[in-house]
Amino acid sequence: MIRLALLLPVLALLSGCGTPPKYAWGHYEQMIYTAYRAPDKAPTERQIEVFEKDYQKARSENKPVPPGFHAYLGYLYFDLGKADEARREFETEKANFPESAVFMDRLLANLSKKGQEVKQ
């Protein structure tokens, strides 16, 4: 226990003295890890459910979700063929992070193309 007390200042120093994270990370990285490591444990529907909950929580705490969050969620909706939801998420990513505009516009254009293929 004494040793632990001695080590704590080191920890505090290195972790920036407890600066709270800027973003509400929720399960974003953890889910990415699971999806690659054990895809059967992270089916698309389940991921969407978890991320929508994370998003509600972040909103209730008035914290921004991290860069890429809405883009990934949009991608998951796209995977399920839910084009309207995918479009909404890509637009949100672009609105929150203008840096993403070029990539999001490309994904949005792909969505429209896909939509037309389905109609034909």
Partner 1 sequence: MKRCLLRTALYSLALALTLTGCATKYDYANYRAHFPRSILVLPPLNETTDVKATYGYLSTVTSPIAEMGYYVYPVVVADHFFKENGMPTPGEMHQAPPKKIYEIMGADAVLYITLKQYGSKYQVISSKTAVEAQCKLVDTRTEVLLWEGKVMAEEGSGGGLIGAVLSQVLNQATDHAHDVAGIANLQYTVEGKGLLYGPLSPKYQNQ
Residues binding partner 1 (CB under 8 A): 4, 7-8, 10-11, 13-16, 21-23, 25, 28-30, 32-33, 35-37, 66-69, 71-72, 75, 97, 99-103, 106-107
Which residue do the tokens 């529907």 mark? 45
Question: Least distance in Å: CB of 26 to partner 1?
Answer: 11
CB closer to partner 1, 23 vs 59: 23
CB closer to partner 1, 14 vs 118: 14
User: 93 with 100: CB under 8 angstroms?
Assistant: yes
DSSP one-letter string for 33-94? HHHHH-GGGS-HHHHHHHHHHHHHHHHHTT-PPPTTHHHHHHHHHHHTT-HHHHHHHHHHHH
Return the half-sphere exposure (C-beta side, CA atoms, 13 A cut-off) of residue 82. 14
CB closer to partner 1, 13 vs 118: 13
Question: Least distance in Å: CB of 46 to partner 1?
Answer: 15
C-alpha gyration radius of the chain = 19
Which residue do the tokens 């505009």 mark? 101
Question: Least distance in Å: CB of 69 to partner 1?
Answer: 8
Question: Least distance in Å: CB of 111 to partner 1?
Answer: 13
